[in-house]
Amino acid sequence: MVRCSDGTLYTGYTNDYKSRLAKHNSGRGAKYTATRKPVTLVFLQRFDTKEDAMRREYEIKHRLSKKDKEALISSPLNLIDRIAAIRPNEE
C-alpha cells in the first residue's frame, strides 16, 4: 500500500515492490497514482502465492475503511520496518 501526495491510499500487489514503487513515482504505475506522486510505501505484506496476494488486495481495497487501513499500516503485519532492519543499505 502506498500513500499518495494527497494523503490517499492506493493498494496493489506485486512480486517486486521496489520496482513497482519506482514505476508509480515515474507516473507509469497506475492511473490513480500518476497524478498523485510522489507516493510512499506505507504497508508491505508477503504471501506465498499470487492468488493469496490478490485475495488480500481485494479485501483491503473493498472491505476496509480508511480508518482500518491506517490501523493496518501501524500493525505488526506491516513488514516495512523488519525489512529495513534486515537490509538497511538496500532501502
Residue 71 has pLDDT above 70, yes or no: yes
Domain ranges of the chain: 2-86
Long-range CB contacts (within 8 A, 24+) of 81-89: 83/44
Q: So what's the pLDDT on residue 42?
A: 96
pLDDT tens digits for 22-58? Answer: 999 999 999 999 999 999 999 999 999 999 999 999 9
Q: So what's the pLDDT on residue 80?
A: 84
State the architecture of 2-86 in CATH terms.
Answer: 3-Layer(aba) Sandwich (3.40)
Residue 12 has pLDDT above 70, yes or no: yes
Q: So what's the pLDDT on residue 88?
A: 47
Q: How many angstroms separate the Cα of 46 from the Cα of each of 7, 19, 37?
A: 24, 16, 24
